């Protein structure tokens, strides 16, 4: 007699596996056709989810580095307020000011290879950028001031002179060497830290270590102490403002060339430093700066970007869901036809003691399995596609190099497969359970 060694549940489960397996094996072609009808939909879901994840990672990974953490208060102060700000910032960690200017490193008196401080990718290509002047009627190239300088071994970088450690606002990623040491005594040979693009320039060109800064009285010899990733694409060097100041009379940073860079100081403040802001504004007002010249705003780039990406993702997922729905209709169609064909088999199975629930469960698991197999195939195609794609276009977009297939896309694919399996299998399962056993007696 039947001696159930295992639990009732495991007997049911094992029976279901055998019966379901027999059903699928007897209809391999049909299972395959179901999978095809579902494949595009699941692939669409996987693709959207993978694309959204990758875009989000690429965009969000650098947004804090470039613009500062959400919540940071940013204020721009014209050059006339520079000395007040620099004095106020000394020794502070909850607020940092940076003064921007262009600097040329290399042979003196030559035209840098990337004139204007553009990225080295574009250096020497296309029209020489930079010097334009604009009025309400349009923009015009500026007339050359004197003879053009000869091209030479020099590179132009954006110089950011810092009053303190800016990394609490912009969390730069270390690449090699060290970051600026704000605690030590200022050095006469200014220490600079390069971003990756600037470091690339140093690798590509033999550049002597001589630096001229707009408005500086003499050339200086900088020491490069490290390289960081600041998320930016233009060559940039970071320097302690006090080390720069020994070469640069206060307040004259931009005087030499008002058309290049500039825009005064950028002040970044932690949340909760409202007092500092009020004090600074009062002091700056004393120098004749008007209140509307001292607007501050709070960074929320990351939050805004997340929100925009989320909206995009839902729109695309919605479209993918429509494609998936077509697949579900296909699997449902096949499922109903199959149940129609198997009426006698199901009636007989119930006659020999298979319960209604188990029968419905078997029909449902057959489509669920189809859905899962499809999900597996779609995820596989997604993984391979991403690998191939990142190899093909990865050269153009470095952020796409070596990206991993996001696990969220895999999860989305499995969920899509399961949902499609349930939607496509539920009605056939209910129909199968409702077949009267007496069907086997009507010959």
Partner 1 sequence: MTIPMSAAPIAAPPIQTPLIRLSGITKTLKGQDEPRTILDGVNLTVHSGQSIAILGRSGSGKSTLLSLIGLFDRADGGQYLLGERDITKLPERKAAALRSAEFGFVFQRFFLLKHLSAAQNVAMALVNGQGWLPRRKRKTQVMEALDQVGIAHLAKHKPPRLSGGEQQRVAIARALVRQPRVLLADEPTGALDTETGNLVVDVLLKATHRGCGLVLVTHDHDHAAKMGSVLSLHDGRLG
The least distance separating partner 1 from the CB of residue 345, rounded to whole angstroms, comes to 6
**In angstroms, what is the minimal distance from the CB of 427 to partner 1?**
21
Q: How far is the CB of 435 from partner 1 (least distance, A)?
A: 11
How far apart are alpha carbons 78 and 256 in whole angstroms?
15
DSSP alpha helices (H): ranges in 76-169? 82-89
Quote helix, strand, coil % in the chain, to nearest 5.
Answer: 50, 15, 35
Strands 154-162 and 191-195: unpaired
Nearer to partner 1, 19 or 46 (CB): 19
Neighbours of 439 (CB within 10 A): 14
User: Angle, to 10 degrees, between the axis of helix 343-351 and the axis of helix 356-393?
Assistant: 130
Cβ at position 47, least distance to partner 1 in Å: 37
Q: Which two tokens stand for residue 409?
A: 């896309």
Could you tell me the smallest distance in angstroms from the CB atom of residue 312 to partner 1? 47
Distance of CA 336 to the CA centre of its chain: 44
Tokens of 299: 């960074």
Residue 2 or 185: the one with the smaller Cβ distance to partner 1 is 2
Residue with Cβ nearer partner 1 (361 or 406): 361
Query: Is the Cβ of residue 307 or residue 344 nearer to partner 1 in the bound state?
Result: 344
Nearer to partner 1, 10 or 401 (CB): 10
DSSP state of 1: -
Nearer to partner 1 (CB atom), residue 1 or residue 291 = 1
DSSP-derived secondary structure letter, 3: -
**What span, in angstroms and rounded, lies between the C-alpha atoms of 429 and 353?**
17
Longest Cα–Cα distance of the chain, Å, equals 108
Question: At its nearest, how many Å lie between partner 1 and the CB of residue 357?
Answer: 8
| Residues at the contact surface with partner 1, assessed by CB under 8 A | 1-6, 8, 10-12, 14-16, 18-19, 22, 25-26, 344-345, 348-358, 436-438, 440-443
């Amino acid at each position: 007699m039947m001696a159930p060694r295992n639990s009732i549940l495991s007997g049911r489960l094992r029976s279901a596996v055998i019966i379901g397996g027999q059903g699928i094996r007897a209809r391999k072609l049909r299972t395959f056709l179901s999978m095809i009808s579902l494949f595009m939909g699941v692939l669409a879901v996987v693709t959207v989810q993978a694309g959204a994840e990758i875009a989000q990672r690429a965009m969000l990974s650098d947004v804090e580095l470039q613009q500062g953490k959400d919540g940071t208060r940013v204020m721009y102060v014209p050059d006339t307020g520079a000395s007040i700000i620099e004095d106020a910032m000394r020794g502070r960690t909850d607020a940092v000011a940076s003064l921007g200017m262009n600097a040329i490193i290399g042979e003196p008196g030559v035209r840098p290879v990337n004139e204007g401080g553009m990225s080295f990718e574009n250096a020497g290509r296309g029209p020489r950028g930079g010097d334009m002047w604009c009025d309400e009627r349009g923009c015009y190239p500026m007339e050359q001031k004197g003879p053009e300088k000869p091209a030479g071994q020099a590179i132009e970088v954006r110089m950011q002179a810092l009053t303190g450690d800016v990394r609490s606002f912009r969390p730069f990623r270390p690449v090699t060497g060290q970051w600026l040491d704000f605690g030590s005594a200022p050095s006469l040979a200014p220490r600079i830290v390069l971003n990756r693009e600037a470091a690339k320039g140093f690798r590509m060109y033999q550049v002597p270590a001589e630096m001229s800064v707009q408005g500086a009285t003499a050339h200086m010899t900088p020491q490069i102490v490290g390289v960081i990733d600041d998320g930016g694409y233009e060559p940039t060097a970071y320097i302690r403002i006090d080390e720069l100041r020994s070469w640069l009379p206060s307040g004259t940073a931009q005087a030499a060339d008002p058309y290049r860079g500039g825009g005064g100081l950028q002040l970044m403040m932690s949340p909760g430093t409202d007092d500092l802001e009020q004090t600074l504004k009062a002091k700056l007002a004393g120098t004749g700066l008007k209140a509307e010249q001292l607007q501050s705003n709070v960074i929320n780039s990351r939050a805004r970007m997340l929100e925009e990406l989320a909206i995009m993702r839902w729109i695309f997922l919605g479209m993918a869901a429509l494609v998936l729905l077509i697949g579900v209709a296909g699997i449902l169609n096949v499922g109903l036809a199959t149940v129609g064909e198997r009426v006698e088999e199901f009636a007989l199975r119930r006659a020999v003691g298979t319960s209604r629930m188990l029968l419905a469960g078997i029909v449902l698991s057959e489509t669920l399995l189809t859905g899962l197999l499809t999900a597996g195939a779609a995820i596989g195609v997604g993984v391979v596609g991403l690998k191939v794609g990142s190899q093909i276009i990865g050269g153009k977009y470095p952020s796409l190099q070596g990206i991993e297939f996001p696990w969220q896309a895999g999860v989305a694919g499995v969920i899509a497969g399961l949902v499609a399996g349930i939607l496509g299998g539920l009605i056939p399962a209910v129909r199968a359970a409702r077949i009267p056993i007496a069907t086997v007696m009507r010959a």
